[in-house]
Amino acid sequence: METRQLGNSDLQITPIGYGAWAIGGAGWEAAWGEQDDGEAIEAIQAAIDGGINWIDTAAVYGLGHSEELVAKALKGRANKPYIFTKSSKLWTEDRKVYSSLKSVRKEIEDSLRRLQTDVVDLYQIHWPNPDDEIEEGWAEMAKLKAEGKVRWIGVSNFNVSQMERAAKIAPITSLQPPYSLVERKVEAETLPYCEQHNIGVIAYSPMGAGLLTGAMTLERARNLPADDWRSRSENFREPRLTRHLQLVDILKAIGEKHGRTAGEVAIAWTLRLPAVTGAIVGARSAKQVEGIIGGLEFRLSADEIEQIEAFCRTNP
């Protein structure tokens, strides 16, 4: 199985990792709707059995529930994957989410308890908010690494100037940005910066939050439940929605030549750049894992990449 070194760390990760955002379930502001816990556990185990060697979760996913499910899925397993989680998004008793970088130490203790582990392989600042607390939060992250509570430290959703501020305090192992065929903002400045400074990149939502899987339709997008955050996303509304689904037709056509899904083609596109170390791929059931596990090995030819890019140039 191919693995890639993540930035300045000793972590050798598979090209795709399991993303545990959606399995957190309903009842919080960035939820994907209701989720069956049994199916979530089966999805995690199927991903690991398929060769994926890292799981990316966060404290805020399901307000702690995602981390708890990861622990249940891994209990008793000999071949445990790397565990990545995040800080800085907290919640009140009435389930309102807020941001703070002043409670990083308490957050890791809570995450370690929910994950039922003594150490996290990669601990990340989830969002650079509040901006004026970045230095304080990153300094505490560096202390946690020095103390051995976490092995490596990274950031998520940071821009270049924010990474430069953090790097003055301690080296950054990785950046986790959104990156897909429907979200390409990091190509201009962020990805080149990471490549130049040996910062690993683990891209999230490489399938556009399910938009590029081949399973999304106009009708389904229009009828997403109110407790699914995607119902409020511009990418799932007109005029963008029709454009994106036309792109999916191209991904499907390319995939059919290789016996791959549109989602696997979308993942392969994300992984085409040397700057991208890995892609975080979510799945809410073992069946969904079947539709993405090929992303471990499937790669696009130069002609196939150009076919996709030609559509994007014509339909920006």
Residues serving a catalytic function are 61
Q: How far apart are CA 58 and CA 78, in angstroms?
A: 23
- Token pair, residue 124, equals 């990340």
Residue 3: left (phi > 0), alpha (psi -120 to 50), or beta?
A: beta
224 contact partners, CB below 8 Å, separation of at least 6: 33, 230, 231, 236
- In angstroms, rounded to a whole number, what is the distance separating the alpha carbons of residues 210 and 206? 9
CA dihedral 20, 25, 27, 33 (to 10 degrees): 110
For 35, phi then psi, to 5°, come to -140, 135
Six-digit token pair at 7? 């930035």
Of the candidates 311, 283, 284, 287, the residue with the CA atom closest to the CA atom of residue 16: 283
Give the number of other CB atoms < 10 A from CB of residue 146: 10
Distance CA 67, CA 266 (A): 27
Instruction: Return the SS3 of 79.
Output: coil
The C-alpha torsion from 309 through 310 and 314 to 316, rounded to 10°, is 0
d(CA 104, CA 101): 6
